[in-house]
Structure 1
Amino acid sequence: MNFDQSPSADFRTNGSLRAAGSRRRRTAPVDRDPQELSTGDGFRLLEEIRSFGNPLMVFTGGDPLKRPDLYELIRYSVELGLRTNVTPSATPLLTGDAIGRFKDLGISRMAISLDGPDASTHDNFRQVPGTYDRAMFALHHAKGIGLDTQVQTTVTRRNQRMLPQIAERVCETGGKMWSLFFLVVTGRALENDDLTGDEYEKVFEILYELSKIVPFDIKTTEGMHYRRYVAQHQRGDRGAGSNSQVARRVVWRTAGVGDGKGFVFVSHTGEIFPSGFLPVSGGNVLRDSLVDVYRNRELFKVLRDPEKRQGKCGRCEYHNICGGSRSRAYALTGNYLAEDPRCVYQPLHPIGV
């Protein structure tokens, strides 16, 4: 895919706040924002997203089920021929009937957050009692009616050692993908939750070994250097005759995807961001063309240009499959072109040196 021309798209359908501790959208929902896009605005946005070709469209939040017109938007997205996913929150709104409607409307996949392998760890992480049971109900119910699911996990110091147990829950519920989000620490964040560079490498080792044996795909968000880790280890695995091809399948499918490169995020008020974790707006769909902003606005063009990256990310031989987290660079340094502060790798064959 030519990422200069076509991304996947996330549409945040309400204005729920982020959780303290991350730029991961994993909080209990709050009241809707009166300035959020109207139904008509949403329809027009979907039509423009369709003009990219056939990108993946994801309805996210907060809690998208708090929008009364969510099902209308989903129906129109599917009618336009967009591959359409939804990421509802595990609240009382996520009933069996709601999940059934997702399937009937043609949702390709429903994503549910699971940050611990049991109620004690997950509910403590979310600070909302009952969310584990609701999440597991949703996943099992979807499996029972034939709706594909994926599990989304925010990786922190609190749960990094629980990842193999969480992977068991993904297997148990028949998930097609395990999507792991790595913290982008911001102002209110507790830095003690963030992994060190060395801890990232240990987590990558766990994921790499799991990827050889689990029946689902593994994807990382704001952990782009997992692709570098896999590339480093693939040669030795091939020599040992292991299932390195299985371990690499998702890495190469998403190779090079990053903030503003193969991805665009539209907020509930229409602001256009390179991702949901990089709070630098390139425009607003109420006054700007989403296609034009993504393809031609300087912010997005710079983010896609590896020669603009600074520090070791600008010299690294893995820049085509990684590129580092532009969101984390911005959050920790104020410069979205700086090197990823949580990558310990030092280029062995620096580009341009």
Structure 2
Amino acid sequence: MRKWPLKEKPLLVFYETTKACPLACRHCRANALLKPLPTELSTRDAMKFIDDLTGFDRPYPVLILTGGDPLMRDDAFEIMDHAKSMGIPIALSPAVSTKLLNEDLLRELKKRVSSMSISLDGARPETHNYIRRTALEQIDVFKATLEVFDILRKLDIEFQVNTAVMKLNVHELPYIFKIVKESGANAWEVFFLIRVGRGMELEPLDPWESEDVVQFLYEASLYGLQVRTVEAPFFRRIIMQRRSGMNYAGGKLYQELTSKLREIMGEPPTGTKVSSFTPTRDGYGIIFVASDGSIYPSGFLPLTLGNVRKDNIVKVYKEHPVLRTIREARFNGKCGVCEFRDICGGSRARAYTELGDPLASDPACVYEPTAK
């Protein structure tokens, strides 16, 4: 497969179609609301933005429709159909809340999208329902999520499971992994909490806990399921180190999680290879368009680069000085001299949120570069 030209075009374009959502998740980046805001892109604006994406040339980036809940937009199918007609691959990240995601709707979505992502933030109803609280009615979101997994598997729709990890649910990760593995998902994407939006209420992992968790995720990947991280690009450093034969004694959390994993899953199959990775990071291979058209390096890095109402996203991605600096890995502090800066580069969102500088070193990374 030809290497994706990340400097020329993103692999993934996230479009926050709306902030409207029936859920009120405690870690919601978007501060989602029950009603759409009057500032969100009109159908015409959304179509123009999609037309502009064809300026990246084929193969086009994947357009990921997110929110809020993209299905809360009355023109959601119209937007999908337009993107599909342009040859742009579409992925969908809907909310599981009410009976909206029933089998009939999912059959219709299968005609339009190449994949879906569904969130699971706890291995127990108590945890998942607490984190992903609904703003409309008291329902068992955990149960509804497992039912959606069953329908997706039945309809042969490719899907991944997203999990936001924080102190609140970190001890459940091995059990979440088991559910994901048995669900038929093609990937498990673990989001490391960034304190933006409602996530300000929650406690992220400390740096050594983050290291223990990414080392655990390497162990989980040995069971044959693709494992990826969001806002923890140092997972790629771990993959490189472990592939080269480096062992990790690990802290208490790593030992606990790995022991539980072996207990419930058995020993990993022999000869399993960890999936390869693409070295994307906030603003490099990834670009985000907010509901009002604002262009950000990523959804967790709300640094405005322009607006699709007046700016061409292709020009912004290729020429904006912040993005050029990010993709050239010209960072400050230890990230700037790290031998893994090209494949990792640290979380630009966490550096911006915690230090006010999108080019600062990632505060969650414990690695000390060999070059100083």
Q: Same fold (TM over 0.5)?
A: yes
2:167 counterpart (157, 163, 181): 157
By how many angstroms is 1:96 displaced?
2.0
Q: 1:118: Cα distance to partner?
A: 2.5
Give the one of 195, 219, 228 matched to 2:228: 219
**Counterpart in the other structure of 1:74:** 80
Q: Are 1:183 and 2:193 an aligned pair?
A: yes
Once the two structures are superposed, what CA deviation does each residue of 1:17-55 show, in whole Å capped at 9, x if it has no partner? Answer: 897864645x76421011211112111111211221321
Instruction: Select which of 355, 358, 368 maps to 1:333.
Output: 355
Aligned residue pairs, count: 339
Give the alignment partner of residue 128 of structure 2, picking from 118, 122, 125: 122
TM-fit CA distance, 1:142: 1.1
* Among 252, 269, 284, the residue aligned to 1:261: 284
Q: Which runs of 5+ in 2 are unaligned?
A: 248-268
Q: Which residue is equivalent to 2:51?
A: 47
Q: Match of 1:89, as an amino acid?
A: A
* Structure 1, 113-122 or 12-21: larger mean CA deviation: 12-21
Query: What is the TM-score with the length of structure 2 in the denominator?
Result: 0.86
Query: 1:90/1:191 Cα in 2 relative to 1: closer, same or farther (>3 Å)?
Result: closer
Q: In structure 2, the residue corresponding to 1:236 is in which secondary structure?
A: coil
- Name the residue aligned to 2:273: 246
Aligned match of 1:3: 6
Q: Which residue of 1 aligns with 2:343?
A: 321
> Deviations 1:310-338 (Å, cap 9, x if unpaired)?
00000100011100000000000101111
Distance 1:138 1:189, change over 3 A: closer
Q: Report the Cα distance in structure 1 between the residues aligned to 2:326 and 2:243, rounded to whole angstroms.
A: 28
Equivalences for residues 16-27 of structure 1 within 5 A: 16=20, 22=27, 24-25=29-30
CA contact (8 A) 2:193 2:199 kept: no
Provide the residue aligned with 2:104 in structure 1: 97
Q: Distance in 2 between matches of 1:60 and 1:70?
A: 11
* Correspondence for 1:143: 153
Q: Distance in 2 between matches of 1:24 and 1:180?
A: 15
Give the counterpart letter for 2:273 in structure 1. V
Query: 4+ residue runs of structure 1 moved beyond 3 angstroms?
Result: 16-25, 186-192, 242-245
Aligned mates of 1:299, 1:16 — CA distance in 2:
30
Deviation at 1:243, TM superposition (A): 6.2
CA RMSD of aligned residues (A): 2.2
The Cα of 1:16 is off from its aligned counterpart by 4.3
Q: Distance in 1 between matches of 2:55 and 2:271?
A: 37
Corresponding residue for residue 297 of structure 1: 320
**Does 2:181 match 1:171?**
yes
